[in-house]
Structure formats: structure tokens, C-alpha cells
Amino acid sequence: MAVYTRVDEDQLKDLLSGYGIGELTSFSGITQGVENSNYRLSTTGGEFILTLYEKRVDRADLPFFIGLMGHMANAGINCPKPVEDTSGQILQEVSDRAAAIVTFLDGTWSNSPTPQRCRAAGAVLARMHLAGADYMTLRRNALNSAGWMPLLEASDKGQTDGLLPDLWAQAKTRLEGILADWPHDLPHGVIHADLFPDNVLFIGDRVTGVIDFYFACNDFIAYDLAIMLNAWCFEPDGSFNITKALQLVSGYQSTRPLSNAEIAAIPVLCRGAAMRFFLTRLYDWINTPADAQVRPHDPMDYWRRLNFHHQVNTPKAYGFGG
């Protein structure tokens, strides 16, 4: 569920009176997602999305996110474009929440993308990296490698080991190895940092939208591709689908070829990306109240991916040079 804050018809009509996008004809809550409250708005002028930013989104970061979406849209990336009201403002206040209206994008997503969709998504990620090269606003990655050990230490060892005996100690050993090998001088830029399959919309095999920029930040560009390899190329049984990886990598490199240093770093970047999502899911699994509106993701899904990464150390295992 992703409608934490309720709004009613009168509130929406009052909000839309300050825009030039028509009158409200219908609206509905969107249950997809876990971070913010989202509503689909139908007006006499078209279709839009209203997002209410919940507590996990720092208001100070909103100008970065909003500006980045506008920048990407203006560069030809199919992403939600923020809509200004008649006074030129984008950010609003709705039900004591910061809020914004953005354009609606057609398309659907799949938890099991085809190799063809992997290729198309890889190419779009590369286009985003190129488009972000002249986006001058900066945002530090709050979930970068420096934050991973504190996340593990904040996860109760007793409850962690309840998932798997000695899990906490194993995770600490693996994390120490990742941090020891973590690169320091790879190309840096704006990354999406959360480009899971549910954040890419398709009609057929054509990408029609990239959404959810609320983890976007500045970090190693190739790390973004490592996140996608983790999110797009593992099957439900935990096996790594090399066919999907080959297509994802090929699609990316057809638009932005990686440097030799970036390719060489792919194994540790993939381990790091898997560790990041394992740790945030582990923390949420332990610390989310039982009566919370959202059920946290199972962290062991990413532990199984870490098991795969732990066994390989060559970029060829991820579709490079294949």
C-alpha cells in the first residue's frame, strides 16, 4: 500500500484551481510503491500524478529530485515532468505534506522482464547518465558505501540470526571484504540508484517511462548498472540469468561504453549493490512495526544474490565480453 495520507475531492479541486491543467474529473490512489502517497488525477486537460512526500523523504532534497526530473524530461528522457502552477511554483502543501503534480506516463511494468526489455532498459539508463552530465545540482548518496556498516550495526544481531544462523557475522565479513575492494576513482555523476523493473514502464518492448527518482544522487555511474544487474537479471529461484545480463549490458554499452576501469570494477560493484539492498531490507525487516501499513521486503532475497556474487570475480560472469 502506498497511500498513507488521504486527500479528498474538495482538496484536489482547490489545488487544481491554481493550475492551468483543467478541472478534476476523477482521481484514485495508487497502491504501488512504498515511499510516498500517490494519486492519479484525471482532468479535462489530461492525466497527471499527484505525489505527497512522506516522512522518509527529506524536504531539503526535493529541489534536487524535482529539478532532475525536469532536466531529464527536457533532455528527451521519458520521465514524469513536474507541472508548474499559474505562479510558476512546483512544490505545494497538501494535507501538511510537501506535494507536486507531474505528468502521467502510459505503460506497464513486469517483475519478470524479457531479455528484450532488459536491453531497452539498459540503453535508457545509459541515456540518463549522458543526460545527467550537465545537471549541476549535487546530492550525496545517503546510502553509499560509508553508510553500510552503520546499517548492519543498527540491525539487532539476535533478530538477524533468526533469519539464518550466524547471518550477522557472515554479513560483516562479506561487507568488510567489499569495503576493502571498493573503488575510489571511477567516473562519477548523477545516478537513478533505484532502477528496479517496477520503475520502468513499457508498451511492448519499448520503454515509455522511467519513474521514481527519489533515491537519485551523485555516485559512481557504473554502480547504477550494477544495481540494475541485481534487480533485473535474477530469477525467482535465485539463479542469475546471463541472457538477460548480456542484453542489459549490450543495451547500455550501445549508448555509453564503459571504461576498462568501470568494467573491471563490475564484480565488486555488484556485490556492493546487493549488500546495500540486503542491509536496507534487513534493517526494515527488523525495525518495521508489526502493524505498519507496508510489509518490508524479505532481505534474504538479496542475501541469495550475494551468495552468487561471492562465487564470481570476473566481469564475464555479468555479460561483459560475451
**Which pLDDT value is given to residue 63?**
96
CATH of domain 9-103: 3.30.200.20
Percent of the chain, pLDDT > 90?
A: 87
pTM exceeds 0.75, yes or no: yes
How do the domains of the chain map onto residue ranges?
9-103, 115-318
Q: Would you put residue 203 in left (φ > 0), alpha (ψ -120 to 50) or beta?
A: beta
**Which pLDDT value is given to residue 292?**
60
The pLDDT confidence band at residue 320, using thresholds 50, 70 and 90, is very high
**Which pLDDT value is given to residue 302?**
97
Question: Is 121:109 a contact under the CB 8 Å cutoff?
Answer: no
**Which pLDDT value is given to residue 1?**
40
**Which pLDDT value is given to residue 55?**
78
Q: What does the pLDDT average to over 290-312?
A: 87
> Looking at the predicted structure, is the pLDDT value of residue 291 above 70?
no
CATH superfamily of the domain spanning 115-318: Aminoglycoside phosphotransferase (APH), C-terminal lobe (3.90.1200.10)
The dihedrals phi and psi of 282, each to the nearest 5 degrees, come to -65, -45
Q: What does the pLDDT average to over 268-291?
A: 92
Q: What type of residue sits at position 12?
A: L
Question: In terms of DSSP H, where are the helices of the chain?
Answer: 9-16, 62-74, 115-131, 148-153, 157-163, 167-181, 221-232, 242-253, 260-287, 300-310
> Looking at the predicted structure, is the pLDDT value of residue 321 above 90?
no
The pLDDT confidence band at residue 7, using thresholds 50, 70 and 90, is very high
Local structure of 313: helix, strand or coil = coil
> Looking at the predicted structure, is the pLDDT value of residue 32 above 80?
no
The dihedrals phi and psi of 81, each to the nearest 5 degrees, come to -105, 125
Rounded to whole angstroms, the Cα distance separating 267 from 272 reads: 9
Note the pLDDT tens digit of each residue in 67-110. Answer: 999 999 999 999 999 999 999 999 999 999 999 999 999 999 99
End-to-end CA distance of the chain: 41
Q: What type of residue sits at position 184?
A: H
Note the pLDDT tens digit of each residue in 243-274. Answer: 999 999 999 999 999 999 999 999 999 999 99
Note the pLDDT tens digit of each residue in 153-187. Answer: 999 888 898 899 999 999 999 999 999 999 999 99
Instruction: State the average pLDDT for the chain.
Output: 94
**Which pLDDT value is given to residue 3?**
67
